[in-house]
Amino acid sequence: MADLLFILDHMRLLARGPKSAGMLYFLYDKLKNDENIVQLTYQEIGEHLGYATSTIQRSISILQKMKLIEEVQGSFGKKFKVLSVEKLNTELKKEILEITKTEDYSDESILKRRYLEENIPAEYQQLLNKKVLRSAYKELGSLRGIKSLCKHLKIDYNTFQLIYERKGKDNFKSKFKELCLEIEAEFNKTQTVPEKKFGENERELTKYLYDKLGERDAKPISKNWYAKNCTIAKDILAKISLDDAKKTIDWGFCDSWWKDKMTNLSSIGEAYPKYMLSQNSKNSTILRSTPIPELLRRRIMQEVRDLQVQTYEDAALLKQLMLSGQYNDDIKKAVEILEKGKIIPEGNNNIKFG
């Protein structure tokens, strides 16, 4: 049903001008396999339809211009894929009429008008269902992005536009717009309710992350983001302080591994213990035999396979080689990872033991 309007337009054009192309398309469409592929030789087509080779070539060229078929690799003869019918472009229509020396005609017809005015395909009826639209609003955060709405409901956007432009009293457009406005009004009334459900600290922590994301041009676009994160914040602040939660967020954005994972407050649950370990390691005495964090060891093994860096002494030796100028690309890469991981100081300093 979704392609019927477009098929009607293409049929009118093929019937008036390149009739042989219309017959060939009908033949291709009926003989295509499950992958929409058809392979026929000029001899087979000519013998069956009574067309000369030049007529077949001309018909194929027109069908390709109209994007009804496309040639694909074949073992013998011509192999084509029958394409989904798309909206007939005005310029393309004009080009085909000129090629076939056919007189122009109106795009309207009694049959097409009847279909537009009287029938709404079943899959588009759901756009007038308040329950469906309400569910889509919750998922998308808006009903104003029609392409996103059509994609969400798995319906064709171009057909929606044709139905949307119908004329007459109580038409599809007016009903659809009225429903969208009603649903938006419903959600606008309730969107402040989450604020009342949460305390000042939950809102402050959620806003803190939101602002940090905004500083990086990564503001959340979902309208449900705030309420969801306030709920998460309530659970987090029952276990750690607001100050520690904020410090964990700051640490996450500074950490090379965590910085692209701080998109919502749920990341704090896993990041907080790692943040605390990083703080404890700064305050504790580092021995030569102290292992470096496993996460950094894995990163170095993944990126520099020929180096084994297990302890802080290994890290210090690599940094010393860098400072003395005795290094290669692998050592340089490992030192960069260790510096970013705060295992060794950046610049001309190295670890001091004892």
How would you write the pLDDT of the chain (354 residues) with one tens digit per residue? 335 656 777 888 888 877 888 898 888 888 989 888 998 888 888 899 899 999 988 889 888 888 888 988 765 656 889 888 877 778 888 888 888 888 887 877 776 666 655 567 778 778 888 888 888 888 888 888 888 888 888 888 877 877 777 665 557 778 888 888 888 888 776 554 444 578 889 989 999 998 888 888 888 887 788 888 998 998 899 888 898 899 999 988 888 888 888 889 988 888 888 888 777 655 456 778 888 888 788 888 888 877 888 888 888 888 888 888 888 888 888 889 888 888 888 888 888 765
Whose CA is closest to 194, among 237, 142, 231?
231
Strand partners, 40: 78
- In terms of Cα–Cα distance, which of 160, 168, 37 is closest to 87? 160
By the 8 A CB rule, do 7 and 14 touch?
A: no
DSSP for 192-234, written as a single string: THHHHHS-HHHHHHHHHHHHHHHHTT-----TTHHHHHHHHHH
Task: Tell me, yes or no, if the pTM score tops 0.85.
Answer: no
Q: What angle do CA 27, 22, 14 make, to 5 degrees?
A: 165
Task: Name residues whose C-beta falls within 8 Å of residue 133's C-beta, 6 or more positions apart in sequence.
Answer: 127, 143, 179, 180, 183
CB 79 within 8 A of CB 72: yes
In which element (H, E) is residue 178 found?
helix 172-190
Cα separation of 245 and 189, whole Å? 31
Q: How far is CA 163 from CA 88, 158, 310, in A?
A: 16, 9, 67
The most distant pair of C-alpha atoms in the chain lies apart, rounded to whole Å, by 96
For residue 19, give every residue at least 6 positions away whose Cβ sits within 8 Å of its Cβ, in sequence order, or none.
none
> Tell me, what amino acid is at 252?
G
